[in-house]
Chain A
Amino acid sequence: MTVSVHHITKRFGAFTALDDVSLDARPGEFLALLGPSGSGKTTLLRVMAGLEFPDAGAVLFDHVDVTNARAAERRVGFVFQHYALFRHMTVAENIAFGLKVKKPVERPSPEAIAARVRDLLGLIQLEHLGGRYPSQLSGGQRQRVALARALAVGPRVLLLDEPFGALDAKVRKDLRRWLRQIHDETGVTSVFVTHDQEEALELADRVVVMNHGRIEQVGEPAEIYDHPASAFVADFIGEANRLEVTVRHGRVFFAGVDLGPADGHGDGPAILYARPHDFVITDVGAGAIPAVRRSHRRLGARHRILLSLGDSGATVEVETLGPLDDGDVCHLAIQRWDLFPA
């Protein structure tokens, strides 16, 4: 199913949580809403779910306006960050809830409900825990139960609010691969909120980057990473070095060094973003920035070397660059970059 939001604005008092946001989630797509806290991503998800109502704009499910429909009428599956399992019900009762509250004419028979619960317990690999209470489960198990409960009603769209936010790193990794698998099996359009870019880039078909209640960029993970549409995206996604440069006569200058063509950027000050792996050591010559190695740090298998550039005071972090010691002098070239107006 297609989930569309058109020109949604939502304010909480003086705070604008969503500012004229428009977006489509395509049928069967796994879409990530990514952004820092306060960027409006959770509010957008809750507007889609009918748990929050916009001040302006429309929400459409398969081109049908559901803006004023309550959550109960939209048939969405919502998975909460802190699971929100019913604490006084067993796992099986939790999963059956959405079926049991259906109107008598639509409600499956008790046998059919029991069968559905068994199937879902199998899907989440907790067949033997149907009689347990939520407080007797681990965080990862609870989140799987929450997912099963949401899937039980056959939702038209699955909405997940930081589904792995409360879990530790190892469980999180396992669970998100498993979630992707479930998504591929069920084929239900899914939208999930996260502030973890690794999660978004690994899991999603497309990523929506949000900031200050606005959408900065929508695209496939590789596109977002390789071609950030704004300075915010370049800075927020992955690691990036930020350099203040000047564009003169269509060329980019940093501390007097001509780095190359500015690709249509107007003259004046600009901000350049380059990834740690976009720097290479080079000989003295065109585009070479004199640099001094300052320090080195390790992030698991990766290395990062901190260099100061010339006498500009700017520093950059780059990937391993061969045999250099702290204090050594070299020249750096930037192989590719993104340029934004200052």
Chain B
Amino acid sequence: MSSSTTESRLVRRLLIGIALAFLSFNLLLPLFAVFSEALREGWQGYQAAIIEPDALAAIRLTLLAAAIAVPFNIVFGVCAAWAIARFEFPGKSLLITLIDLPFSVSPVIAGLIYVLLFGAHGWFGPWLDEHDIQIVFAVPGIVLATIFVTFPFVARELIPLMQEQGNDEEEAALSLGASGWQTFWRVTLPNIRWGLLYGVLLCNARAMGEFGAVSVVSGHIRGLTNTMPLHVEILYNEYNFIAAFAVASLLALLALVTLVAKSLLEWRFGRKAVAGH
């Protein structure tokens, strides 16, 4: 008995040690590097890199893309989760698979799809050109690509939650005379709000951090079609390390805020409220 506990303690420490070392090396060290590089020439260099017009334009575009993609995902996610959790219909499993598609497809391919569809030589290219509508290498393309890569987040969060909760409460509300809208706002939404918030957090983090898909459709026009991750890349390629890391640190901060908010949600409402993991 004693020998087995000694051994398990040793094994336990070893495993924890390996995990911590790995995490430190792969996550904490880079995170530290980002901030230390960004602040190498002090606060002023950091500030200058961020309030520079191209950087501000990139931040604005990133916020815009997220501000469009996230609400879209909330609506789509709730609709899809509702349909999947509440109804039986042909093609249901296909829909579930399709929702997961952005997870399994390389983001570069996701970007390329839009170039193939809406680019100058794409399917709708000539028509768009005639009507003077620019999608690829412009803001609409970036928004579309962002929506594509983020659309599983909210739906995947809600589907297991809504399946587990069933629709008894909604039926009860309907039988008590509530309308469809009243049932949604007073019963469905309060029941899924924490799962929804959790999905929105993840969706937002991804929307702001997406590189691959956005990179393909962006065209990298400074001050116009550069998002923050793309701006970081350009600065870095120009050996402007301080500015690159300053902007990167903002993305890192976003990640940290998301993590803290996620932990708070989990702590406050327990595992049950953010079920599905």
Residues on A lying within 8 angstroms of B by beta carbon are: 49-51, 70-72, 75-78, 80, 82, 84-88, 97-98, 101-102, 146, 149-150, 152-153
In whole angstroms, how far apart are the Cα atoms of A86 and B176 in the complex?
A: 12
In whole angstroms, how far apart are the Cα atoms of A71 and B183 in the complex?
A: 12
Q: Does B179 lie at the interface of the complex (its beta carbon under 8 Å from any beta carbon of A)?
A: yes
A71 touches B169 (CB 8 A): no
B171 touches A101 (CB 8 A): no
Q: Does B130 lie at the interface of the complex (its beta carbon under 8 Å from any beta carbon of A)?
A: no
In whole angstroms, how far apart are the Cα atoms of A84 and B176 in the complex?
A: 12
| Shortest distance from the beta carbon of B182 to any chain A beta carbon, whole Å | 5
Given A87-B191, A101-B182, also A72-B175 (CB < 8 A): yes
Of the candidates A70, A87, A88, A101, the one whose C-beta lies within 8 Å of that of B176 is A101
| Shortest distance from the beta carbon of A99 to any chain B beta carbon, whole Å | 9
Q: A84-B169, A97-B173, A102-B177 are in contact. List 15 more A-B contacts (CB 8 A).
A: A50-B175, A51-B174, A51-B175, A70-B174, A72-B175, A75-B177, A78-B172, A82-B168, A85-B169, A86-B187, A86-B190, A88-B191, A101-B182, A149-B176, A150-B176
B168 touches A101 (CB 8 A): no
A72 touches B178 (CB 8 A): yes
Residues on B lying within 8 angstroms of A by beta carbon are: 168-169, 171-179, 182, 186-187, 190-191
B177 touches A84 (CB 8 A): no
B174 touches A98 (CB 8 A): no
A78 touches B171 (CB 8 A): yes
What residues of chain A lie closer than 8 Å to B176, measured between beta carbons?
A: 72, 97-98, 101, 149-150, 152-153
What residues of chain B lie closer than 8 Å to A101, measured between beta carbons?
A: 173, 176-179, 182, 186
B191 touches A71 (CB 8 A): no
What residues of chain B lie closer than 8 Å to A50, measured between beta carbons?
A: 175
What residues of chain A lie closer than 8 Å to B169, measured between beta carbons?
A: 84-87
Of the candidates B168, B178, B179, B186, the one whose C-beta lies within 8 Å of that of A84 is B168
Number of A-B contacts (CB under 8 A): 64
Given A86-B187, A87-B169, also A77-B175 (CB < 8 A): yes
| Shortest distance from the beta carbon of A217 to any chain B beta carbon, whole Å | 29
Of the candidates A80, A150, A153, the one whose C-beta lies within 8 Å of that of B171 is A80
Interface SS majority for chain B: helix
B171 touches A72 (CB 8 A): no
In whole angstroms, how far apart are the Cα atoms of A98 and B190 in the complex?
A: 17
Given A86-B187, A87-B191, A88-B191, also A71-B179 (CB < 8 A): no
What residues of chain A lie closer than 8 Å to B173, measured between beta carbons?
A: 86, 97, 101
In whole angstroms, how far apart are the Cα atoms of A146 and B172 in the complex?
A: 9
In whole angstroms, how far apart are the Cα atoms of A102 and B178 in the complex?
A: 7
**Of all chain A residues, which has the CB nearest B168?**
A84
What residues of chain B lie closer than 8 Å to A51, measured between beta carbons?
A: 171, 174-175
| Shortest distance from the beta carbon of A87 to any chain B beta carbon, whole Å | 7
| Shortest distance from the beta carbon of A246 to any chain B beta carbon, whole Å | 49
In whole angstroms, how far apart are the Cα atoms of A153 and B173 in the complex?
A: 12
What residues of chain B lie closer than 8 Å to A97, measured between beta carbons?
A: 173, 176, 178, 186
In whole angstroms, how far apart are the Cα atoms of A50 and B175 in the complex?
A: 8
In whole angstroms, how far apart are the Cα atoms of A72 and B179 in the complex?
A: 7
What residues of chain A lie closer than 8 Å to B174, measured between beta carbons?
A: 51, 70-72
In whole angstroms, how far apart are the Cα atoms of A149 and B168 in the complex?
A: 14
Given A101-B182, A149-B176, A153-B177, also A80-B168 (CB < 8 A): yes
Given A86-B169, A87-B169, A101-B182, also A76-B190 (CB < 8 A): no
A84 touches B171 (CB 8 A): yes
In whole angstroms, how far apart are the Cα atoms of A115 and B190 in the complex?
A: 26
What residues of chain A lie closer than 8 Å to B177, measured between beta carbons?
A: 72, 75, 98, 101-102, 153
What residues of chain B lie closer than 8 Å to A152, measured between beta carbons?
A: 176
**Of all chain A residues, which has the CB nearest B171?**
A51
Q: List 6 A-B contacts (CB under 8 A).
A: A80-B168, A86-B169, A97-B176, A98-B176, A101-B182, A149-B172
| Shortest distance from the beta carbon of B86 to any chain A beta carbon, whole Å | 13
In whole angstroms, how far apart are the Cα atoms of A213 and B193 in the complex?
A: 40
| Shortest distance from the beta carbon of A200 to any chain B beta carbon, whole Å | 23
A49 touches B187 (CB 8 A): no
Interface centre among B174, B175, B179, B191 (most CB of A within 10 A): B175
What residues of chain A lie closer than 8 Å to B175, measured between beta carbons?
A: 49-51, 71-72, 76-78, 150
In whole angstroms, how far apart are the Cα atoms of A286 and B175 in the complex?
A: 61
